[in-house]
Amino acid sequence: MKEHVLQCQQCKTRLQFSDHDAGALRFSGSGSGLSARLEESFLVLASGDEARGLPPGGGGDGGPPTAVRRLEESFVVLQGGSSGGKTAPGTQSMLLDSGGGGAGSSGMQRIPFDQKLRALARVFEAASEEVGVELPLCSECAGEVHRELEAQLGELQQEVAAYEAALVRLQAEGVQPMREPAFQEAAAQAQGQVQAERERLAAAERELAGAQAQLRGVEAEACALDGVEQRYWHTFNDFQLRLGDHLGDRDALQHRLEASSGALCMLRRTSVYNDLFRIWFHGACGTISGLRLGRTAQQAVEWDEINAAWGQAVLLLATLARACGVQFRGHRLLPQGSYPQVAEVRGGATHDLHGPVSKFLCASYDKAQAGFLACLKEFADWLVARGAVDGQGVRFALPCPIEGDKVAGLTIRLMFNKDKNWTRALKHMLVDLKFVLKYALVALDNRAGLAAGPPGTLAPVAALQREDFAGAASTAAVGTLAAAAAGMRQSSGGSALHSYR
């Protein structure tokens, strides 16, 4: 069965028509407008045989009639009412008929399907012009159009009913139509009002245009402000990042400063002299830097340890004298590690302050001990003359008085002396040396504070307290002590190492 495709004019759905569907479309030619137009649109011309007076179908050769054969080949579409005669009987049926009986059923041959579709398209165009709806339509669109038309029909019926009710009410009220002058005057007033409202509308439109222009300007300013705000936040975030880095650097620097301040405080409270030359006791013997000075029957101290202790004592007193600027008048101390010496200023004689020596042949050793004691006495007199005080304001005084070669009434000489008495005298001497160290450090600190030295000098004496000694070593004292220790190591070689054990 041959098919041809058409489209729904609304949803564009493909519609398929077959020969059977086209054959089902018949028009009765009874008095409808659409049927009448179709009857006038198609006209089959008479064949030549009829024009010459021949009987229809008189071909004589047994073929189809000539009129039918020509009808299959062509047809003429005439304008409505242009023909003078009537449409040939059965023309519409012949054009749209798709019955399969051929000449035996209707007396005419079957018309081609494309000609039927062209006729069908003309039918759809005429129907569209008649009803005002584009055709053809599918079943769904047709139902929708039907519902819309019914809705429009209902609205029109309601308007008609409203008009009829208004007409009945006016008739009941007896309202008479207005006279022409009054109507013209009312129309003029209404026209004036309309014109005034139009002017107001124009003014409102102008105001609206101005407001829209202002709105566009405000929107442009808002966009510019948004850009400024975005740049501000970018700048703010960058500043916050830089501020965080700066705060981190500041905190790190402050932490380092606090650590350095703590280390500086600890160094200020540290006494280099007390750390290097710690004077204490061990049993009956006094000690300096952990080395025993003296010997008894119960403590048989070796001469090497005694020599090293004397070397530390000579080094301490010589360093303090150099730091404080004290010049000894009668003797000169020569710290040389475990082999210290004491030289006389006048005669130039040098006496060894190291052993081993014999109690019967130790005159030089005793002179060296007496010379050291004389230097200690001169340094104590220098402190007294300067009015030295400790951290609590107590004035300086030797706890064990020194007179000649005696300390607290005990001679320091070894010749013909008992080990016990000699050891006690040396212990008293170390006690005096300890007090001299204490007050000398206070004097050095006070002098450094009054001189307002460079940064790094030590704090006032009142803040410097450590163990049994008050005060701390100044920077100058540390440098002097380091120089003296270096000189001692250079002069005595490996012997100096023994003095620091």
pLDDT (tens digit per residue) in 196-211:
999 999 999 999 999 9
Is residue 115 pLDDT above 50, yes or no?
A: yes
254 lies in the same domain as 288 = no
pLDDT of residue 246: 95
| Cα 280 from Cα 493, distance rounded (Å) | 27
Chosen domain end from 126, 156, 174: 174
pLDDT of residue 20: 55
pLDDT (tens digit per residue) in 270-302:
878 888 899 999 989 999 999 999 999 898 899
Q: At what angle do helices 33-41 and 113-131 cross, to 10 degrees?
A: 140
Give which of 359, 362, 380, 381 is closest to 370, Cα–Cα.
362
By three-state DSSP, how is residue 14 classified? strand
Is residue 444 pLDDT above 80, yes or no?
A: yes
237 lies in the same domain as 378 = no
pLDDT (tens digit per residue) in 27-48:
333 334 444 444 444 444 444 4
155 lies in the same domain as 200 = no
- DSSP labels for 160-179? HHHHHHHHHHHHHHTPPPPP
Q: Which domain holds residue 41?
A: 3-137
Question: Percent of the chain beyond pLDDT 70?
Answer: 69
168 lies in the same domain as 31 = no
pLDDT of residue 73: 44
> pTM of the full predicted structure?
0.44
pLDDT of residue 483: 42
253 lies in the same domain as 298 = no
| Cα 117 from Cα 17, distance rounded (Å) | 9
| Long-range contact set of residues 95-104: C-beta below 8 Å, sequence gap at least 24 | 95/42, 95/119, 96/22, 96/23, 96/25, 96/26, 96/27, 96/120, 97/23, 97/26, 98/19, 98/20, 98/22, 98/23, 98/24, 99/23, 103/64, 103/68
Q: How many domains does the chain have?
A: 4
297 lies in the same domain as 254 = no
365 lies in the same domain as 489 = yes
| Cα 243 from Cα 256, distance rounded (Å) | 19
Regarding predicted confidence, which is higher, 83 or 153? 153
Give which of 300, 293, 267 is closest to 278, Cα–Cα.
293
330 lies in the same domain as 473 = yes
Q: Check which CATH number belongs to the domain holding 315 and give it.
A: 1.10.418.40
Give which of 255, 240, 278 is closest to 467, Cα–Cα.
278
406 lies in the same domain as 309 = yes
Give which of 368, 305, 295, 372 is closest to 338, Cα–Cα.
305
Q: What is the dihedral angle through the alpha carbons of 451, 457, 459, 464, rounded to the nearest 10 degrees?
A: -120
167 lies in the same domain as 248 = no
pLDDT of residue 156: 94
pLDDT band at 368, cuts 50/70/90?
very high
281 lies in the same domain as 429 = yes
Chosen domain end from 174, 196, 221: 174
| Cα 312 from Cα 304, distance rounded (Å) | 12
186 lies in the same domain as 292 = no
Q: Name the CA radius of gyration of the chain, rounded.
A: 71
Cis peptide preceding 136, ω within 30 of 0: yes
Other CB atoms closer than 10 Å to residue 215's CB: what's the count? 12
